[in-house]
Structure 1
Amino acid sequence: MISWRKHYKRGLIAIGLLLSTSASIYAQGDAKNGEKLFKANCTACHALDKQLVGPALGGIVDLIKKEQNLDTDWLHKWIKDNKALRASGDKYANEIFEKFNKTEMTAFPNLTDQEIDDILAYTSNPPAPEPAAEATGAGAADTNSVAALEAAKMQSMNSKIILLSLLAIGGLLIWLLLKLKQLVKLQQTDELTGLNATRAVSFGDLYRKYDYIGKGILVLLGIFAAYGLWNWLMWIGVYKGYKPEQPIYFSHKIHAGENKIDCQLCHSSAKYGKVSEIPSMNVCMNCHRTISEYNGKYMEPGKDKAFYDGEIQKIYAATGWDPSSQKYTGKTQPVEWTRIHNMPDFVYFNHAQHVVAGEQAILNSYNQKNPNAKIDVVCKACHGQVDTMNVVQMANDFTMGWCIECHRTTEVDMNNGYNKEYFKNLHDKLKKQYGSGAKITVDAIGGLECGKCHY
């Protein structure tokens, strides 16, 4: 009996020590701060609930304790400098390195021990999402749905009001015509009746009698027809507002607006080349290799999380990416994007010339002309407020006249390094021609020469 009590007490002491140890591990870190640190440093390669580039980290403290009998000190060493840990001959560190295709994890020597404890606390006991934030997101979605419904009702009501108004106006006109006809009949006398009998009653007789009026009308109709044809010809190829449906839905508002992704991260050749190319799917995979679902707060009316998640799966199908094994299968599906902006073959336009050499001049000119809609990125001067567009559309006419107007009103920064060197011998000539304090616009340095755009 004494022996049994002795072992019983020892068991309670052991359980107490184990519980206190576990509690102390989690108590050391602040899970809320750990969540911020995890999102800032770890989400590129890790998630809590699934494998990405690296293993799932949910419950990692208990896992390595159970499977490898390792404590948080080992995790500290691994996070701060896993390369040094592997070089020391640590068996488990090298096993992980081999298991994940010898992908070397980024070292984080800048993280303090307390910050690492915060991250580990988050992986062990992630805080529940704040109800207020969820309610806000749901409320926003509900508000959008209600607003869309109210707008549809209002539009339907307006259409009915307009239709009823037109019917009322039509009825009033018919009533007036009937009344006028009655008045004419009342005022007709025998003398007027006899006079009316002698008047021309056929269209041919009427035309011969007033042929000069008919010829004048025909001339006017010919002029209007010629103008209409000329106007139609002038607008061939002008597609302002054009926004085709794409094979994979891509919201610039989410990427460039909500997430503040720079235009040139995807359209990198706009700065250094003639054409701003459509990014390859590999560019998308730089981020979406680890972002397999949409968790943003913004929802476009009529869209939901399932819709956005489905579009991400289309990216995986196009690139042949298997998210479960985190490997490319080699089975790709080319994406047939519909091009929106496309200059004619006889027009030369160099993106780099505008984005680099003309950047500040274009920004200054645009913001002076549009003080209530200033822009911070030179791309918006031509392509509009892309960061507010769910579906990108052609924001301007892109006609020859539109370009010439810009060249005539955009002042050249003659003091920047490029212009100062390139137009070194032109400065004196421009000062003599336009005056020392004159505003030098792009047309003054050859911006209206035919050969600059049509070669």
Structure 2
Amino acid sequence: MISWRKHYRQTLIAIGLLLSTSASIYGQDGDPKNGEKLFKANCTACHALDKQVVGPPLKGVVERVKTEGGKDTEWLHKWIKNNKEVRDSGDKYANEIFEKYNKTEMQLFPNLSDKDIDDILAYTTNPPAPEEPKKAEGTATATDAAQAAPANNTTTSVVIISLLAIAALLVWILIKLRQLVKLGQSEDLAGLNETRVKSFSEIYAKYHYVGKGLIAILALLATYGIWNWIMWIGVYKGYKPEQPIYFSHKIHAGEQKIDCQLCHSSAKYGKVSEIPSMNVCMNCHRTISEYGANDYMEPGKDKAFYDGEIQKIYAATGWDPEKQQYTGKTQPVEWTRIHNMPDFVYFNHSQHVVAGEQAIINSFNKKNPNNKIDVVCKACHGKIDTMNVVQMANDFTMGWCIECHRTTEVDMNNGYNKEYFKNLHDKLKKQYPKDGGKITVDAIGGLECGKCHY
């Protein structure tokens, strides 16, 4: 009896150890939901669950390392925290992985606790089912369409009835007009018809002063219309063409808070703010191969649309996402230019972005207290970080620029202006006493023709 109980107890202990080891091996003792958050925060730059990015796909990684290298979760803990240390120890499997994936150094994660790693492994082993994407405003499902069908039929019936009623009304009006014409031909009205004016010349002779006045007014209106049309040639405020690759500034600059100058780097130190090359896009999209933030979708567009636009970037740069390498077969992207100064106008971005940055921001916010800006770019280009499709936000006319130069106050206390205008400072204050001696751009040559035309 004692021997049987002892054997029974040993069996229970063995089963318990087996179950705990199995749970540990398969990463089930963690929290997959928390693991998903940790995975997205730490791993998605180089890994995806179901496909190779920079590193291998991580779905089922616990089972894979066990099958391929005979490793357990303890080894994975060491690898994730400091893979370099594991490789330097001479671990054969660790060095095989390093060689297989182009000797790409994996980031070290000493900050992750054992519980964090268990949660991540639980997520890679048993990822929770993805949430249903939020239906974008302006889109409809098949069920919605079916429900809307009776309403559409009712609307169609109302329209048809209305058209028939209008047709009946027109017929009635025609009948009444015919009756009036017959009445007009009666003998009672014959004498009255003889007294009426029979031609336009007789009307003009009778009311020629009124006619001349009307002609003069029409001539003035026509002249104003032609002048107004001429003055607005080349002004395209609100122009927002479709681009060959859809790019949402609202997502990148607004939601993701990417600095304008990360892509438009020459705007700060160059004359022209160039269109960034596709390689700039690939700095991020080499690892971001699909769209994942449903809340940022523009109404009428879905995940498939955004994923397709990322594939256009790959086609343009010749990137093979499966092999994670460039093929050398590139395609030019024919962007449609939106802002384009005439050839006879000189405009230097760096002069405004660097020298005039704070002055322009202060002036704009003073004139627009309810629509303040935090970046100098927005003073001319509008709130780009709210635009899915970029458009011209201002007139960009000569008068628009001059008005800005007349109202933007120059910071005479910064190092450059204080030294450059050292001898002119007091003279300018006396010459431009408006607003307590404040000096605007026009006071230092901002209205000279040669500043912008050469």
Same fold (TM over 0.5): yes
Indicate yes or no: 2:343 matched with 1:345. yes
Distance 1:359 1:424 in 2: 21
Match of 2:384 among 373, 376, 386: 386
Note closer, same or farther for the CA distance 1:7–1:249 as it changes in structure 2 (3 Å cut): farther
Distance 1:14 1:358 in 2: 76
Where does residue 428 of structure 1 map in the other structure? 426
Distance 2:317 2:415 in 1: 42
SS of 1:141's partner is: coil
Distance 2:31 2:75 in 1: 19
Where does residue 55 of structure 2 map in the other structure? 54
Where does residue 313 of structure 2 map in the other structure? 315
Distance 2:87 2:422 in 1: 59
Note closer, same or farther for the CA distance 1:415–1:325 as it changes in structure 2 (3 Å cut): same
Where does residue 117 of structure 2 map in the other structure? 116
Where does residue 75 of structure 1 map in the other structure? 76
Where does residue 297 of structure 1 map in the other structure? 294
Note closer, same or farther for the CA distance 1:378–1:142 as it changes in structure 2 (3 Å cut): closer
Letter in 2 for 1:226: T
Indicate yes or no: 2:136 matched with 1:141. yes
Contact 2:429 2:438 in 1 (8 A): no
Distance 1:389 1:187 in 2: 72
Distance 2:118 2:413 in 1: 54
Where does residue 451 of structure 2 map in the other structure? 452
Shift in Å, 1:450: 1.1
Where does residue 328 of structure 2 map in the other structure? 330
Where does residue 221 of structure 2 map in the other structure? 224
Distance 1:367 1:187 in 2: 76
Deviation string for 1:12-37 (max 9, x for gaps)?
A: 87665333113246366443333222
Shift in Å, 1:9: 11
Shift in Å, 1:215: 5.2
Shift in Å, 1:412: 1.9
- The equivalences for 1:227-266 within 5 A come to 227-266=224-263
Letter in 2 for 1:367: N
Note closer, same or farther for the CA distance 1:195–1:73 as it changes in structure 2 (3 Å cut): closer
Query: What count of residue pairs does the alignment treat as equivalent?
Result: 428
Note closer, same or farther for the CA distance 1:416–1:108 as it changes in structure 2 (3 Å cut): farther
Letter in 1 for 2:116: E
Note closer, same or farther for the CA distance 1:142–1:381 as it changes in structure 2 (3 Å cut): closer
Distance 1:35 1:371 in 2: 43
Shift in Å, 1:274: 1.4
Deviation string for 1:252-305 (max 9, x for gaps)?
A: 222222322222222222122111111111111122112222121233222111
Shift in Å, 1:52: 0.4
Shift in Å, 1:213: 5.7
Distance 1:424 1:266 in 2: 37
Q: Percent identity?
A: 76
Letter in 1 for 2:284: C
Note closer, same or farther for the CA distance 1:338–1:11 as it changes in structure 2 (3 Å cut): farther
Indicate yes or no: 2:42 matched with 1:41. yes
Deviation string for 1:81-140 (max 9, x for gaps)?
A: 3333333332222212221112222223333444333333332333444x5xx4xx43x5
Where does residue 99 of structure 2 map in the other structure? 98
Contact 2:32 2:126 in 1 (8 A): yes
Distance 1:423 1:289 in 2: 49
Match of 1:267 among 264, 275, 279: 264
Shift in Å, 1:339: 0.6
Where does residue 125 of structure 1 map in the other structure? 126
Contact 1:145 1:301 in 2 (8 A): no
Indicate yes or no: 2:357 matched with 1:362. no
Question: Larger deviation: 214-223 or 46-55?
Answer: 214-223
Letter in 1 for 2:249: H
- The equivalences for 1:160-175 within 5 A come to none
Distance 1:49 1:12 in 2: 38
Question: For structure 2, which runs of at least 5 residues remain unmatched after alignment?
Answer: 1-5
Distance 1:211 1:143 in 2: 59
Distance 2:195 2:289 in 1: 89
Contact 1:320 1:328 in 2 (8 A): yes
Contact 2:430 2:437 in 1 (8 A): no
Note closer, same or farther for the CA distance 1:142–1:369 as it changes in structure 2 (3 Å cut): closer
Note closer, same or farther for the CA distance 1:250–1:93 as it changes in structure 2 (3 Å cut): same
Question: For structure 1, which runs of at least 5 residues remain unmatched after alignment?
Answer: 1-5
- The equivalences for 1:280-295 within 5 A come to 280-295=277-292
SS of 1:48's partner is: coil
Where does residue 3 of structure 1 map in the other structure? none
Distance 1:32 1:285 in 2: 30
Distance 1:241 1:346 in 2: 23
Question: Larger deviation: 305-314 or 258-267?
Answer: 258-267
Distance 2:286 2:304 in 1: 18
Indicate yes or no: 2:90 matched with 1:89. yes
Distance 1:316 1:120 in 2: 31
TM-score (norm 2): 0.80
SS of 1:437's partner is: helix
Shift in Å, 1:401: 0.6
